[in-house]
Structure 1
Amino acid sequence: MPNWELKNCCDHDQVAFIVTIGVFTFVILALWRTVLLTPFKLITVFLHETSHALACKLTCGDVEGIQVHANEGGVTQTRGGIYWIILPAGYLGSSFWGMVFILASTNLITTRIAAGCFLLALVVVLFVAKNWLLRGLCIGFIIFIAIIWLLQETTKVHILRYVILFIGVMNSLFSVYDIYDDLISRRVHSSDAEKFAEICPCPCNGVAWGVIWGLISFTFLCGSIYLGLVILS
């Protein structure tokens, strides 16, 4: 595993960043259909639904509950707010958070900030969760991140940055895949894109909006890698 603690030259940091992302991408793709990645897939669904909830609150709506299901689906119950902002916030929001996590991992201070914000989000959602799977997911990741953070501060096991980066890469890849699977390769009439197409005056159908959202999500992924290299230069 590349060691980001060595600061011999800027090129080393950039190479380590790219190599680590490459290793994580390979591991994620190799283990994609195994149960080992299930918790991280579900945390991506968590961020998807949390993005819906955040968009609802920012547009003066109320969040009545959030659910995450074992089949990697989720539901956010909202009342009020601006619907055409809330709908795309799930897919695009989870892609955005993936980018934020990737960029945060380039510096230990920003890594701590990202981990702290992630813990806060888990605690908040724990109290609005409407099913036990989501509650268990929140509790499990609160304990997991807290242990990793404790090891970071009290031992020589400095892996908090790698954990945040892994969650960021996982979230970015899963978001792009989820958009393709749900909105492009098969037309789910209850999907966010289909609902968005119904209320948007643009003549695009759900599949077209899926393509647009997919391109935006892929841009977030590529942008996070480019900006990470710029930060480390």
Structure 2
Amino acid sequence: MGLELWRTVLMTPFKLITVFLHEASHAIACKLTCGQVEGIQVHANEGGVTQTRGGVYWLILPAGYLGSSFWGMALILASTNLITARIAAGCLAVALLVVLFVAKNWTLRGLCIGVMNSLFSVYDIYDDLISRRVHSSDAEKFAELCPCPCNGVGWGIIWGMISFVFLCGSIYLGLVILS
């Protein structure tokens, strides 16, 4: 059912949450490295931009994709406890659109959002950085800064693997916590 819905308008709120978490992760990395965040934009076409000044750019650039994977992992793990699942689901209540009517409890709702966020993050890395290679992507900018021989696609593959490890790790930890 999820694959048929992936490119429908019903998934748009979930994707926009992931875009927001992506951009917020850039902003958090910027602030943690003593930079200034000048603005964050999330666009209806599932794109976004974070304007920063200063900070450590080679930490700020990968923070978007890896950060949204981290947030997906955190939501999955938060969903393994009834109280934290209620908090996570409550914070994202606007995005529950379809899941709100299908899921039987708050744990399932939080888990669905966390898994969707993690899956969309992995898919977004593949779509933006590997399959269609956006030249203004975070990975292309990172490749310009990094002295190693990887290009944007190479960094996309590396970030995709890290994101996938976050997803698998969170599912494993979630199962351990639940058992």
TM-score for both structures, normalised by structure 1: 0.70
Is the contact between residue 86 and residue 110 of structure 2 (CA under 8 Å) also seen in structure 1? no
Distance 2:32 2:142 in 1: 18
- Report the alpha carbon displacement of residue 168 of structure 1 after superposing the two structures with TM: 0.5
| 1:224 corresponds to | 170
Q: 1:167 aligns with which of 113, 132, 144?
A: 113
Q: Is 1:33 aligned to residue 29 of structure 2?
A: no
Larger radius of gyration: 1
Distance 1:57 1:212 in 2: 24
> 3-state DSSP class of the match of 1:220?
helix
Q: Is 1:49 aligned to residue 28 of structure 2?
A: no
Distance 1:160 1:64 in 2: 36
- Report the alpha carbon displacement of residue 232 of structure 1 after superposing the two structures with TM: 1.4
Q: Calculate percent identity across the aligned residue pairs.
A: 82
After superposition, the C-alpha distances for 1:173-218 in whole angstroms (9 at most, x for unaligned) are 1111110011011221100000000001111111000000001111
Which residue type is aligned with residue 125 of structure 2?
A: I
| 1:76 corresponds to | 50
Any stretches of 5+ residues in structure 2 without a counterpart? 97-102
Seen in structure 2, the aligned counterparts of structure 1 residues 143 and 44 have a Cα distance that, compared at 3 Å, is closer
Q: 1:109 aligns with which of 75, 83, 93?
A: 83
Q: Is 1:180 aligned to residue 126 of structure 2?
A: yes
Which residue type is aligned with residue 218 of structure 1?
A: F
Any stretches of 5+ residues in structure 1 without a counterpart? 1-26, 120-140, 146-156
Seen in structure 2, the aligned counterparts of structure 1 residues 30 and 159 have a Cα distance that, compared at 3 Å, is same
Which residue type is aligned with residue 77 of structure 1?
A: Q
Is the contact between residue 183 and residue 191 of structure 1 (CA under 8 Å) also seen in structure 2? yes
- Report the alpha carbon displacement of residue 143 of structure 1 after superposing the two structures with TM: 5.5
Q: Is 1:203 aligned to residue 177 of structure 2?
A: no
> 3-state DSSP class of the match of 2:37?
strand
After superposition, the C-alpha distances for 1:110-129 in whole angstroms (9 at most, x for unaligned) are 2245457xx4xxxxxxxxxx
Is the contact between residue 91 and residue 213 of structure 1 (CA under 8 Å) also seen in structure 2? yes
Which residue type is aligned with residue 191 of structure 1?
A: S
Q: 1:64 aligns with which of 34, 38, 43?
A: 38
After superposition, the C-alpha distances for 1:150-172 in whole angstroms (9 at most, x for unaligned) are xxxxxxx9733222212111111
Seen in structure 2, the aligned counterparts of structure 1 residues 50 and 171 have a Cα distance that, compared at 3 Å, is same
